[in-house]
Structure 1
């Protein structure tokens, strides 16, 4: 299962890098979202894909699942949601002011006659 997750994470990182290198601001935002999802899956996979009971005191189980990766991912999801919301508001405001989402036209390097 870890091998499959490694391929999925690699594809997410690959597509996120491709989208973040594009000229459209919305594609860059989608790329950062994919990158954060890939990082969440990487944390979960590195924590170990084990099946077990919840780590509760007083319960006797043969194996327990580790709660630390889930707690880290929950924190990372909240942070990535906030960053994505900020990027969307920033992109909307930039589009209102400049009338484009093309990064080259925002910089002013593409033929400002």
Structure 2
């Protein structure tokens, strides 16, 4: 498992802190968010309007990893359970279908 902190899932405020800590302007955080959440890039190197030097810094210190489940189960009523590994342990989620909505539980 990659031990680098993932940029994916960070808020704009958290991305701003990453940028400021690396000597970048706050607006660069919006560029990062755009590439991750609108363009859905899977590599920091694909962020075209981010400087090469900053991309090198990000690659050395961060990743774009998204949580991947290690176990999946589905019951007859359509409920789906997923188990996700994290550094601090595991998180289980359940997606429970209803007539007009889906309920998601995280524990």
Query: TM-score scaled by structure 1?
Result: 0.26
- TM-score, normalised to structure 2, is 0.27
More strand by percentage: 2
Higher relative contact order (CA 8 A, sep 6+): 1
User: When you count helix as a share of all residues, which structure comes out higher?
Assistant: 1
